[in-house]
Structure 1
Amino acid sequence: MPARVSTTDRVHSQLREEIVSGELTGGSLHSIYGLADRLNVSRTPVRDAVLRLADAGMVTIERNRGVRIRGIGVHDIREVFEARLLLEVPTAAHAARFGSDELLHQLDERVKGLTGAVQQHDEREFVRLDRELHRAIVLSAGNERLADLVESLRDTTQAYGVSTIDRSRSIREVHVEHVPIVDAIRARDADAAASLMRDHLTTTALLLMRQVAASTGEATPDAWPSRFAP
């Protein structure tokens, strides 16, 4: 792999982690020069990484000014989860109908890992495995672009540490929602897998919207997401 691509990936990963953790705060403005100096790299990989972050909705590029870290509002969360419902509910059903033995093994391993993270109360590891579990389910459709799109959508809501864990629900409660989804996929029950995934995403979205609304003063939508019901 060319060195520049490798450096871009490394810079992208570091900047994304700093945004997710809140180290780069929402609304703050940064220059490409400043970021390059701090990360001890040239400006080109920083520019490339920033473009990827902009595509994920995590930053905005302001002409002649620099890169601004985006805040997140109720509207952002609603749009992200409406997209996730349209993508992840049918792929959960697909995984139940056509998922390979290898997929079932991967999901079982992720659930075991999540259980361990719950016992250790390791939020960072829990979030990592949560993302891997969702990605594996989406990848059962054989479409990596689709999986990457879901990853980008998750990046948007995880910016600035936006999470329900230990805020609106416990890490154990989040874990409990994943287990029946995997059980339904293992049982080849497509309807149950789709319904459970829909419930999981809807619950998460409503909790996040209420959390953000509490600090921004925005209203949360009523009867969401009825227009996406089957």
Structure 2
Amino acid sequence: MSAVDRAHAEIRGAIIEGRYEPGVMLSESELASALGVSRTPVRTALARLQDEGWVTIYSKRGALVRGLSAEELHHSADVRQTLQIIGVERAGEEDRAAVRPRLEEMLVKQERALADGPFDTFVDFAIRFHRVFVELAGNPLFTDFYDKLRDRQAMMLLRSESVVVERASEVVGEHRELMELAVAGEVVAFAETLRQHRDEIFKPLVRAAGGEGESVG
């Protein structure tokens, strides 16, 4: 891995995990010192992160960590939800039945992670769980696009940790209900349950971003 790639991965990871919170100004020289690289790869990494929407660079001042606006939260949730619904809608009965063992295994691991931690293990299995519904469409472009939203989905979940942990049994139960509806091919019920599930988890985050009372999508 090049110095640029390493700097990019480290800084992006810190933003996603909340170690660099929205509104924090990042210094090139301080980042370079912390990462053990020169300022040049850090500068290139920050430019890439700006293109990806994670920071805003201010000349001679540094890079400001961006938060996700309510609108961005809605748009991201809309795309993820639509891809999952299409996957369930397009899948045949055999394909839907075939994913049940994978989903059940992930549910067990989610429950264990919520009980014993760490929380980022739950986040990983939750994202992989929802991705299975996208895979059902059999369209690699769908899964590729879904994967591009993974970092934002992870950040949303990590910043909703208190809500998820407080509702741990309900969250796993909602995931189990989604699995049952998907396997049964109940597309309309799956879509409504998915919407309600996302609203319960992400509404506090949307309110904090300035979208009080709105559905997350």
- TM-score interval for Structure 1 and Structure 2 normalised by the shorter chain: 0.7 to 0.9
Q: Post-superposition shift, 1:84?
A: 3.1
Asked if residue 135 in structure 1 is aligned to residue 131 in structure 2, the reply is yes
Q: How does 1:192-203 map to 2 (within 5 A)?
A: 192-203=189-200
2:178 maps to: 181
Structure-2 change in CA distance of 1:63 and 1:93 (3 Å): farther
C-alpha offsets along residues 153-199 of structure 1, whole Å, 9 cap, x if unaligned? 415535xx521534794222222221111122233433333332232
Equivalent pairs, count: 214
Q: Which runs of 5+ in 2 are unaligned?
A: none
8 Å CA contact 2:109, 2:125 repeated in 1 = yes
8 Å CA contact 1:28, 1:68 repeated in 2 = yes
C-alpha offsets along residues 42-93 of structure 1, whole Å, 9 cap, x if unaligned? 4455445434533443222224432111134434433332333333332343
8 Å CA contact 2:123, 2:154 repeated in 1 = no
TM-score (norm 2): 0.76
Structure-2 change in CA distance of 1:181 and 1:117 (3 Å): same
Q: How does 1:8-47 map to 2 (within 5 A)?
A: 8-43=4-39, 45-47=41-43
For 2:162 and 2:89, locate their aligned partners in 1 and report how far apart those are by CA, in whole Å: 26
Structure-2 change in CA distance of 1:125 and 1:219 (3 Å): closer
C-alpha offsets along residues 16-38 of structure 1, whole Å, 9 cap, x if unaligned? 33223332132121233432221
Asked if residue 71 in structure 1 is aligned to residue 63 in structure 2, the reply is no
User: Aligned with 2:162: secondary structure?
Assistant: coil
Q: Post-superposition shift, 1:130?
A: 0.9
For 2:51 and 2:101, locate their aligned partners in 1 and report how far apart those are by CA, in whole Å: 33
For 1:180 and 1:71, locate their aligned partners in 2 and report how far apart those are by CA, in whole Å: 32
Q: Which runs of 5+ in 1 are unaligned?
A: none
C-alpha offsets along residues 99-130 of structure 1, whole Å, 9 cap, x if unaligned? 46664433222112112113325422211211
For 1:128 and 1:167, locate their aligned partners in 2 and report how far apart those are by CA, in whole Å: 14
1:58 maps to: 54
The CA RMSD over aligned residues, in Å, is 3.3
2:113 maps to: 117
8 Å CA contact 2:27, 2:62 repeated in 1 = yes
Q: Post-superposition shift, 1:219?
A: 5.5
For 1:98 and 1:44, locate their aligned partners in 2 and report how far apart those are by CA, in whole Å: 53
Match of 2:83 among 87, 91, 94: 87
Letter in 2 for 1:125: T
Structure-2 change in CA distance of 1:88 and 1:149 (3 Å): farther
For 1:175 and 1:192, locate their aligned partners in 2 and report how far apart those are by CA, in whole Å: 17
8 Å CA contact 1:27, 1:69 repeated in 2 = yes
Q: Post-superposition shift, 1:221?
A: 4.2
Structure-2 change in CA distance of 1:114 and 1:35 (3 Å): same
User: Aligned with 2:64: secondary structure?
Assistant: strand
**Between the two proteins, what is the percent identity of the paired residues?**
26
Q: Post-superposition shift, 1:134?
A: 2.0
